[in-house]
Amino acid sequence: MEIVNIFLVLLFINWVCDYPLQDSFLKENKLKNKYVLFIHSFIWGMGIYLGLMYYNIQGEYYWKLIMLVAGHFFVDSWKCHEFSDYVNQKISYKQLKTIYYMDQLFHIGQILICIIIK
């Protein structure tokens, strides 16, 4: 049961770091600037990593932090590209919504990997 509680806390951290902590500057510029996207990815990855540290399941190495930041960066880069296609009317709103669900599923997968692999 404890692992479920840890997962729920990390899921909440995911939500906080991916949405409310992303101010308008990050939202508007991560699409145009990879450095801004990296900053957003680092904030998210560090938030999850700090949650892992709190529960003492981060491990002795930083591979989890690197995987979290890099994974978030590449998935959000893909999502931003697809959002650009939506703005340019190359994909539908339904397709865009599916992309957002896939984005969150990938991030949830990252969290699960960090919990399961010690």
Q: Which residues of 13-36 are buried (b: 16+ CB within 10 A; e: fewer)?
A: bbeebbeeebeeebeeebbeeeeb
Cβ neighbourhood burial of 79 (10 Å; 0-12, 13-18, 19+): buried
Q: Which domain holds residue 107?
A: 2-116
Encode the chain (118 residues) as per-residue pLDDT tens digits: 699 999 999 999 999 999 888 878 887 888 889 999 999 999 999 999 999 999 988 777 789 999 999 999 999 998 888 777 777 788 888 888 898 899 999 999 999 999 998 7
Distances, alpha carbon 55 to alpha carbons 28, 49, 111, in Å: 34, 10, 13
- How many domains are contained in the chain? 1
The pTM of the full predicted model, rounded to 2 decimals, is: 0.88
